[in-house]
Every structure is written in structure tokens, then in C-alpha cells.
Homo-oligomer: A and B are copies of this chain.
Amino acid sequence: MRTSIATVCLSGTLTDKLHAAADAGFDGVEVFEPDLIASPSSPEEIVALAARLGLSLDLYQPFRDAEGVSEEEFVRVLHRARSKFALMQRLGIDTMLVCSNVGTATVDDDEVSASQLRRLGDAAAAAGVRLAYEALAWGRYVDDYRRSWRIVELADHDAVGLCLDSFHILSRGHDPAEIEEIPGSKIFFLQLADAPALTMDVLSWSRHHRLFPGEGAFDLGAFVGHVLRTGYDGPLSLEVFNDVFRQTDVVRTARQARRSLTWLEDLVETRRLPAVAEPAGFDFVEVRAEDTGEADVLLGQLGFTFRGRHRSKDARLWTEGPARVVCNEQHARNQSPSLAAVGFEVADPAVSAARARALQAPTVYRRTLANEQELPAFRAPDGTEVFLGPVSSGDAAWVPEFDGGQEPTPPLLTGIDHVNLAEPWQCFDEAVLFYSSVLGLTPAASQEIAAPNGLVRSQVVRSASGSCRLALNVAPLAWDQAGGFPQHVAFSTDDVAAVARRAVDRGLVPLAIPTNYYDDLMARFDLSSSEVEAMAELGLLHDRDATGDFTHFYTATVGGVFFEVVQRRGGYDGYGAPNAGVRLAAQHRRPR
């Protein structure tokens, strides 16, 4: 199907937007009137630029406050409309969006609205254009697509049809299934937007918080399915008002938008992508720095075995059972330690890589010598390099590329439980779409954690089995100046106390947890003082819910990275959220 995007989704000037839409691979755009009005380019210049870029101009929008008005007001509406029809002729646009009246409607009568739309339709037809009437979720009288359809039916005019917008329908909880009762030929345009599940007035929700498909909580696959079953064959067009996208790089936002439609086309089966397969688990994580020495020390204390240096790269491998950490000093001049790459184990790396490419994920190139394993890699929106490897039992196939190290001992760790990544505020939604559409991870619990210097927003994306979990964190704005949000890797174990004891014996100083925390633990849970004292001695934190419990500890932070070791008991499926504030406060007292 053809794809389109409303220019209001993108930042910059109208010409910036056209360039970015074409670059991202859209077929056309909706011209948002304020973008044209603010542009110094003449309509003819816009037409010529769009033609050169291979973009069609699919819709002129919005025309407001047209129907349900007094006859005196309708004279002014017709004057305004005729002027816009003339402009559309200059732009070569054949469809205008007419929103249901918000500001000037005084007549709550479908016959009156239909009659006025019919007369507007006459004027439109005379100019060779047509009108797509849309029920805004906050229209004064018409706020339901079923009512706008009734009015269009009453208008009974070839130049008057419907525009359907997923936000206006799904935000109100209106059943989209009844769309199938509308003939596809009367649906003149389809606008798509996702949104997070928020409880707030629908106008503010719409103006500030819309998202691209796949980034929010709406079931857009089902919605578009209903529309397609009517026979609708116009473009799938995005109309997203979002405070972040309005100010972020236009080229990047356009590509994110196009990725969301590619994902959606696959979902509704109008285009097939290589199959998604959620990761079976983590292959490795990579810490990168000019000098990773402090991370190497921490890993040794946590019981990891040094497995050697890479034969052709300046990197070292540490493993403890299936948990593998690469410390990479290649191309890292002046960099302090960061979590630079995460490897995932997938059923078929070639298929997953083909899917990533189809979703326009930027490829990461690393030098690979002839006798080395080549893992496809892509850059996530947050900058993390995502590697795709096959599912391994025991050491991964690339492990023998490291030599000169020691033989592993029987492990206490059972793997990587989760990886905590920092997301710049500009790319959080894009990151959710990336990890879900490319890797097939599913957004789960979202939480806010109070740190001493602001609220951290944390969103987990995970595989269904829990074998692969990422926590995506947006730090408070003030942290941008203060070095950012530290990232971490949480290793799993069946005996966290033993891991902690071994680490302390090897010199680890666990993150310092206040005595007040342990007093509160005794107030909240049925724990003996000797149990709590044992935890306090090792810096262990504890949480519990109806399904099980969770015990964990943290290392110090080196550069922008630290490690955690966690033990889950019973069905506990969380991340110790009640302890996160205590951890952040302890880290705040020890600035990196």
C-alpha cells in the first residue's frame, strides 16, 4: 500500500519535511496548512520539489469549523473554502480534510450539517477536489465516526466522504469493528496514530502524546484490518502530534515513522517481512573504554574467569557459566567505561538480520577476519550496538577467538538476567519500537523511580519467557549535564549470598546500603534479625510479592557501568523496584 505522512509529524520547515519524508521512503505527504502558511516557498515551488523528490501531495489539512453553523456563518465558510480549493488546485491536491466543528457550531442537527457539507461538496466538485470529513474526538457535536458517517451518508455527494483517524476512534473507546459497514469507496483518507494509555482530556492527549504505530497501547493491527476489509485502497498515512518529535532531528524522526508503517504493514499482511523471532537469551554484553581495567577487576571479583584476549582485536573475554562479558578497548580513545553492545541469541540470525534491514535498522560494521564468526549487528536508537548470534549451548562459537586465558570453573551464575540501558529523552519511543519490531521483545511494566535528583522512567521490554529482558531508562533532564544515567548488567544466580560472599572475599566492596533500609525491611517482612544482619553484611537487598521473592546486590559504578547479581525465588517476575530508590541514593552519594 502507499504510505504517507502529515508534515505536522516532523520538525523544521516545509521543505525540510519534504526532503526527510522522501529520504525515509514515504510515497506522499499530507500538507498541514500552518506549515504551508509559514513557508516562503510558493505552492508551485512545493509542487516542483515534491515532484523531484517523488512525493505525492495526498491531502490538504485541516479545514476547521465548516458545518453545523448558522447560514450567516456558512457564507464565511464558503468564502474560506473556495479560497482553499483554489490553493489546492495550485498544489495539485485533490482531497481536503474537513474536521468536525469545534469552535463555531451552533446547530446540533445532522440534516443541517449534511446540507452544509453537500453545498461545500458542490463547490469542491466545481474545483475538482473532494472533502474527507472527520469526527474529532472533541468535536462540539460530532465526536464519533459513526455519526460523521451518518452525516456523510445524508450529504450523499460524490465529493463528500470520510476521513478515519485511529486516534479519534480508539481514544474514545469507540468500537472500530463498525468501520466494516462503511463502503471503502466512501473512506477518502485514513490517518494512523498510536498513543500511550493515559487518563487525561483527549485534546491534550492528542496534541502532545500521540505516537507512531507500535510505540503505544492501541491495537492498530486490528484497526487497520477493519479499514482494509472495507476495500479502502488509499494510503496508510501517519498523523502524529508529539512534543518530542516536533523538536528532534527531522531525518531521524521520518525514518522512525517509516519503520512504524513497515512494521504495521507486516502486521496487517499487506507486506511480508522476514519473520520476527524473540531472542532466546543474551549472547554477551560488551563494556567499552580506553581502559576497561576497573570493569575487569569487578568481573574477577564476581567470579568470572578470564578466558583470554581476542586474537585480532584489543578485547578480553570474561565468562561465568553462560554469562559472557567482553571488555573492549578497540577504538575507544578517551572513553570511560560504557555498555556499548549487547549480543542476543536468536533462532536464525540471518532471518533476524534480514528483518532488521527491512525495518531500516542502521547496520554496524566491524572488521571480521576470515576465520572469525561474523555476527550481524545493528545500531539501536540509543546507540547500543545490537549483535545477533545463534542459540548456543555452552560456549558460543566465537569464544575460541579469545585465547591465553584460563579454563572456566563450575559457575555460580546462571546467565544474564537483564540489561539496563539509558535512553536519551529524544529517542525513548523510537527505542521501544526498535526493540519490539526488530527483536520481537514485548513492552511490559513501566515504572517511575525516585532518585535523589529526579524521577527515572523505566520501561521493560522482554521476551515472553523472561529469558531476555531489557530495562529502558529515561533519566531526569538535569542528569544530562551530570554525566547521564549509569547502565548495568544484572547476572542471575541460584545462590546470591554465595556469589556475594565469594566476591567480598575477593575484595569487592558492595554498594553501601543504609542501616535504615534494613530496619524498614524488618518492619515490612517477617524476617529474623539474624537473616537481616546477614543481608546487611553483604549489602544484599530484598523484595517480595505474592508469587515469590528477590534478593540482589550491586557493585560500585565504574565510568558509566555497574553490575548487579540477582536471585529470583518462586514466581517473582519483577526487578526489586522498591529498592531502586535506595540504590540510586547510594550511587548519588558516590558520584562517578
Contacts and interface: CB of A to CB of B under 8 A. Distances in A.
Interface of A: 11-13, 16, 33-34, 36-40, 42-43, 79-80, 83-84, 87, 198-201, 204, 207-208, 243, 246-248, 425-426, 448, 450, 452-455, 476-479, 512, 514-517, 519-520, 522-524, 581-582, 585-586, 588-589
A38 B36 CA distance: 54
Contacts of A448: 207
Contacts of A477: 247, 425, 477
Main secondary structure of the interface of A (DSSP, over half): helix
B478 A38 contact: no
A14 B519 CA distance: 17
A478 B585 contact: no
B514 A246 contact: no
B42 A588 contact: no
Copies in the complex: 2
B478 A514 contact: no
A85 to B, nearest CB: 10
Contact of A37 (B83, B247, B520): B520
Contacts of A522: 83
Given A34-B581, A38-B582, A519-B83, A247 B453 contact: yes
Q: Sorted from nearest, which 4 A-B pairs have the closest CB atoms?
A: A247-B454, A83-B523, A200-B200, A38-B585
A184 to B, nearest CB: 32
Contacts of A42: 515-516
Contact of A199 (B33, B201, B248, B452): B201
Contacts of A512: 40
B523 A80 contact: yes
Contacts of A581: 34, 38
B453 A11 contact: yes
B450 A34 contact: yes
Nearest to A476: B247
A76 to B, nearest CB: 8
A83 B520 CA distance: 8
Contacts of A519: 83, 87
A12 B200 contact: no
Given A246-B476, A452-B11, A477-B247, A37 B80 contact: no
A208 B478 CA distance: 16
Given A38-B517, A200-B200, 7 more contacts: A13-B452, A38-B582, A42-B516, A80-B524, A83-B523, A199-B201, A246-B450
A514 B45 CA distance: 13
A38 B200 contact: no
Nearest to A38: B585
20 contacts: A11-B453, A13-B585, A13-B588, A36-B516, A37-B520, A40-B516, A83-B523, A84-B523, A87-B519, A198-B201, A198-B204, A199-B201, A200-B200, A208-B455, A243-B454, A243-B476, A246-B476, A247-B453, A247-B454, A247-B479
Contacts of A40: 512, 514-516, 589
A248 B478 contact: yes
Nearest to A34: B581
Nearest to A76: B526
A514 B455 contact: no
Nearest to A207: B448
B450 A514 contact: no
Nearest to A83: B523
B454 A514 contact: no
